[in-house]
């Protein structure tokens, strides 16, 4: 998280006029992404620390997000075996994050996932550059890029270490990506054991 925050701060300092992130802009809060086990456990722990009313409202939003994700899953069946079309379809879909409240604010903002922390700056995923569609970075111009692939490798390794330390037999679960809606509905200890239901 610190690496992500430092990268964002450096970009803000050097290219602040290109970064259009602001309070109540929730474009990144409708993107589909997953959390590795280590980040899922962290988010779940922070979520458990919220008040009962705030948690309950988020769980209702999570149920709605899960229904939408189910529909997308069905839609993706027609692209089985075609990773490019699957990725393109996922990139176009919009599902509201259950952590985004009715005031368009993240209820876990200080503890938000790495993907959320770097959304407004250029990132590299699968060795391809990506940037928020609302950002003012000029096409064709070169900018520093935050390597999300490297961050994901680190998160995978940390997740794997947790499973090994807990003597979980299926260490390959470290590569699974969990939706935020799944994470906040799964007990902390279950996440650490790789038991996602």
CA distance 47 to 101: 13
Binned average pLDDT, 10 residues per bin, the chain of 197 residues: 94 94 87 94 98 98 96 89 82 92 95 94 90 90 94 97 94 94 96 88
**SS3 (DSSP) at 90:** helix
Residue 195, in any domain of the structure: no
Buried/exposed 29-41: b ≥16 CB within 10 Å, e otherwise: bebbbbbbbbbbb
Determine how many CB atoms are found less than 10 A away from the CB of residue 115.
19
pLDDT at 15: 94
User: Which residues lie below 8 Å from residue 1, measured CB to CB, with a gap of 6+?
Assistant: 114, 117
Radius of gyration from C-alpha coordinates of the chain: 17
Residue 97, in any domain of the structure: yes
Residue 66, in any domain of the structure: yes
Q: Closest by alpha carbon to 116, among 29, 47, 46? A: 29
Beta strands in the chain (DSSP E): 123-125, 128-130, 146-147
Residue 143, in any domain of the structure: yes
What is the number of structural domains in the chain? 1
Residue 128, in any domain of the structure: yes
Q: How far is CA 82 from CA 86, 125, 182, in A?
A: 6, 18, 25
pLDDT at 126: 85
Residue 194, in any domain of the structure: no
pTM: 0.90
Residue 13, in any domain of the structure: yes
Residue 192, in any domain of the structure: no
**DSSP 8-state code for residue 138:** P
pLDDT at 23: 85
Range of the domain at 168: 2-183
């Amino acid at each position: 998280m610190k690496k992500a925050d430092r990268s964002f701060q450096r970009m803000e300092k050097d290219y602040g006029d290109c970064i259009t992130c602001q309070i109540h802009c929730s474009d990144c809060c409708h993107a589909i992404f997953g959390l590795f086990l280590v980040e899922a456990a962290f988010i779940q722990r922070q979520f458990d620390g919220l008040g009962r009313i705030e948690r309950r409202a988020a769980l209702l939003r999570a149920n709605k997000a899960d229904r939408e994700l189910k529909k997308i899953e069905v839609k993706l069946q027609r692209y089985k075996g075609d990773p490019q079309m699957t990725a393109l379809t996922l990139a176009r879909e919009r599902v509201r994050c259950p952590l985004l409240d009715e005031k368009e604010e993240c209820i876990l903002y200080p503890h938000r996932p790495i993907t959320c922390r770097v959304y407004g700056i250029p990132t590299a995923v699968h060795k391809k550059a990506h940037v928020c569609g609302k950002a003012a970075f000029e096409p064709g111009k070169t900018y520093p890029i935050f390597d999300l692939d490297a961050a994901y490798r680190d998160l995978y390794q940390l997740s794997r270490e947790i499973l090994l330390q807990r003597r979980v037999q299926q260490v390959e679960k470290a590569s699974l990506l969990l939706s935020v809606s799944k994470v906040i509905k799964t007990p902390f200890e279950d996440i650490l054991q790789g038991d996602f239901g």
